[in-house]
């Protein structure tokens, strides 16, 4: 079977008649084959993600990027373009963090111990606290001001492009990503949430569980979608609470479970192909 090179194209902008045809015709003129295409229109906004391939191991990257950027400007849409490097066997990870370090430390310790079939290439956070941890592992840290989410996500996307990131891991990143950003990284953003979703979504999941007096709490690793904490689930785990266990103990035990579950989900993503169909994850 002859080698092929792949490009993932994302477009987001105002809904316009003929946008899909314009993109597919342009790709046809450039000699591409369309492997998959998914589009959505909501509240007058058009979103599309498309996987295209070209025969051969090398791409005319400059030409492809230039022509698609010109088309995106004509359509008044925002373009993202990610090239799959066929010579690269290990995927490149971006780790997004806030203040809690347990999930970040778990991933980086596994990486240093050579138990992770991927390479973290950057850490980004909306607080400076974990910059020291990133640098201790020899990784660049990017502090991103999230008071203006649109500006912050533009800067974040530039960093992801710069480092050639394949997969984004939210290692207890406590900001909500916009639907547009998530769409560009469809099924490429992994999150860990401290509850057995769909119960107790959003912030303070342990507090919610504690206040409700539940007897079992859990964690959920899932892909991120525009619907908060509703993405396809990769794995879950749970622990039984002790009688009259204080909230601090629940949080401490829960954080250990978060780290283990996130690692298991990440390794699942890296070790086998996954198919996400009708909101559920299936191993292939």
Q: Across-strand partners of 277? A: 280
Domains of the chain, earliest start first: 4-84 (3.30.70.260), 91-283 (3.40.50.170)
**What integer pLDDT is reported at residue 284 of this predicted model?**
40
Per the annotation, the verdict on 15 as an active-site residue is no
The Cα 283–Cα 173 span in angstroms is 27
Tens of pLDDT, residues 140-182: 999 999 999 999 999 999 999 899 898 999 999 999 999 889 8
Q: In the structure encoding, which two tokens stand for residue 129, read together? A: 């606290």
Q: How many percent of the chain have pLDDT more than 70?
A: 90
How far is it, in rounded angstroms, from Cα 173 to Cα 177?
10
Query: pTM, whole model, 2 decimals?
Result: 0.79
Q: Which of 229, 237, 244, 275 is catalytic?
A: 229
- Which 8-state DSSP code applies to residue 178? P
The pair of three-digit structure tokens given for residue 67, joined into one six-digit string: 């022509």
CA distance 104 to 230: 23
Residue 219 token pair:
């964690």
Percent of the chain past pLDDT 90, that is, above it, reads 49
pLDDT at 211 over 90: no
């Amino acid at each position: 079977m002859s080698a092929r090179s792949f490009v993932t194209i994302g477009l987001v902008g105002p809904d316009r008649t003929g946008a899909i045809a314009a993109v597919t015709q342009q790709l046809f003129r450039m000699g591409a084959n369309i492997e998959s295409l998914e589009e959505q229109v909501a509240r007058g906004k058009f979103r599309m993600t498309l996987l295209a391939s070209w025969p051969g191991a090398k791409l005319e990257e400059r030409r492809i990027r230039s022509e698609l950027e010109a088309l995106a400007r004509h359509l008044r849409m925002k373009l993202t373009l990610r090239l799959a490097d066929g010579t690269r066997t290990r995927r490149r990870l971006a780790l997004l963090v806030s203040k809690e370090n347990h999930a970040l430390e778990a991933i980086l310790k596994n990486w240093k111990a050579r138990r992770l079939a991927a390479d973290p290439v950057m850490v980004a956070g909306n607080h400076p606290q974990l910059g020291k941890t990133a640098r201790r592992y020899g990784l660049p840290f990017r502090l991103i001001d999230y008071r203006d989410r649109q500006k912050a996500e533009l800067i974040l996307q530039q960093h992801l492009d710069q480092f050639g990131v394949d997969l984004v891991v939210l290692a207890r990143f406590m900001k909500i990503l916009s639907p547009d950003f998530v769409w560009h990284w469809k099924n490429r953003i992994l999150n860990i949430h401290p509850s057995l979703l769909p119960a107790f979504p959003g912030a303070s999941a342990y507090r919610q569980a504690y206040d409700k007096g539940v007897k079992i709490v859990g964690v959920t690793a899932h892909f991120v979608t525009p619907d908060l904490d509703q993405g396809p689930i990769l794995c879950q785990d749970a622990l039984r609470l002790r009688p009259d266990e204080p909230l601090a103990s629940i949080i401490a035990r829960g954080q250990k479970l978060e780290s283990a579950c996130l690692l298991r989900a990440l390794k699942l993503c890296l070790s086998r192909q996954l198919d996400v169909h009708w909101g559920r994850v299936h191993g292939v």
